[in-house]
């Protein structure tokens, strides 16, 4: 797999919450941090995502916002 994105994080799917159209997918990284993504149910099925399966979180964004109270 080759991607132009610089942030490719390998982890394990720990939770999939299906919705009517989209599903929430939680990937846990080796250090214990979790990344949550909302993707279509069709994508979950076509990627064969299941809890316990290894997957990659690919982040490509031109902006990362940070906020504090």
Question: Which pLDDT score is estimated for 59?
Answer: 86
Domain contains 2? no
- pTM to 2 decimal places: 0.85
Question: Which pLDDT score is estimated for 46?
Answer: 96
Domain contains 30? yes
Instruction: Read off the pLDDT of residues 14-49 as tens digits, 9 standing for 90 and up.
Output: 999 999 999 999 999 999 999 999 999 999 999 999
Q: How many domains does the chain have?
A: 1
- Please state, in angstroms and rounded to a whole number, the distance separating the CA atoms of residues 27 and 56: 8
Can you give the residue range of the structural domain that contains 52?
7-59
Domain contains 26? yes
Q: What is the CATH number of the domain that holds 54?
A: 2.40.50.100
Residue 38 CA, distance from chain mean position: 8
Question: Which pLDDT score is estimated for 32?
Answer: 97
Question: Which pLDDT score is estimated for 5?
Answer: 78
Strand ranges of the sheet holding 7-18, from the earlier edge strand across to the other edge: 34-40, 22-28, 7-18, 54-59
Q: Under 8 Å CB-to-CB from 12, ≥6 apart: which residues?
A: 27, 28, 52, 53, 54, 55
Tokens of 51: 């809890």
């Amino acid at each position: 797999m080759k991607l132009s994105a610089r942030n490719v994080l390998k982890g394990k799917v720990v939770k999939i919450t299906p919705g009517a159209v989209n599903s929430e997918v939680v990937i846990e990284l080796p250090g214990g941090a979790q990344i949550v993504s909302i993707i279509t149910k069709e994508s979950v099925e076509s990627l064969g995502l299941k809890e316990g399966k290894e997957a990659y979180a690919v982040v490509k964004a031109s902006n990362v916002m940070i906020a504090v109270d």
